[in-house]
Amino acid sequence: MLCEICGKSQATVHYTEIINNESSETHLCEDCARKKGAMLKPHFPLADLLSGLIDFNLPLTLEDKGRGKCPQCGLTYSDFKKIGRLGCGQCYDTFKESLAPLLKRVHGSNEHVGKSSALAGKAMQEATLQLRELQERLQKAIQREEFEEAARLRDRIREIEKKTRKSAASE
């Protein structure tokens, strides 16, 4: 079979188009198919599906402009809306307010429960151990009625807790 466009080369690309329930078959050679764009998208990346979820292609709002720029890679939220990809790990922190609802919509969850990076695990373990030790010392201080020391320990515990919560939210 010859190509329907140039009528010279052998047709090797065959595709069926269905428009309003009417299907039509097209037979093209590789060159014409490439020109027509029939071969350009052999696969459909999942990322493209995101467009439905991230309000892509809508005019930029003032709010978008207020979302700032990632300090590490310079990506803006409107860049993200255009390409559907973030620029670096830091972007997740920069745009966390917008990403949290998006991730929730895509995955139905906002909390990672799988494998953890050993590095992150270690830091967390250290913080937990330190907290446990401080809490024990606090108990003892209270028993001994050393309230000044107890207050100091309480403040340190609060500080560490605040820090781990923050890094959990932003890392």
- Residues forming contacts to another protein in the complex (CB under 8 A) are 9-10, 12, 14, 16, 18, 29-30, 42-47, 49-50, 72-73, 75, 83-89, 92-93, 99, 102-103, 106-120, 124, 167-171
68 versus 146: smaller Cβ distance to another protein: 68
Who contacts 88 (Cβ-Cβ below 8 Å, separation ≥6)?
Answer: 70, 72, 73, 75
Distance CA 163, CA 124 (A): 11
CB of 12 to another protein, least distance (A): 4
Q: What are phi and psi of 47, to 5 degrees?
A: -60, -30
48 versus 155: smaller Cβ distance to another protein: 48
- Cβ atoms within 10 Å, residue 33: 21
CB of 152 to another protein, least distance (A): 28
CB of 160 to another protein, least distance (A): 15
Whether residue 51 contacts residue 84, with contact meaning beta carbons closer than 8 Å, is answered with yes
CB of 171 to another protein, least distance (A): 4
Q: Which H or E element spans position 165?
A: helix 147-170
107 versus 140: smaller Cβ distance to another protein: 107
Q: What are phi and psi of 36, to 5 degrees?
A: -80, -10
8 versus 132: smaller Cβ distance to another protein: 8
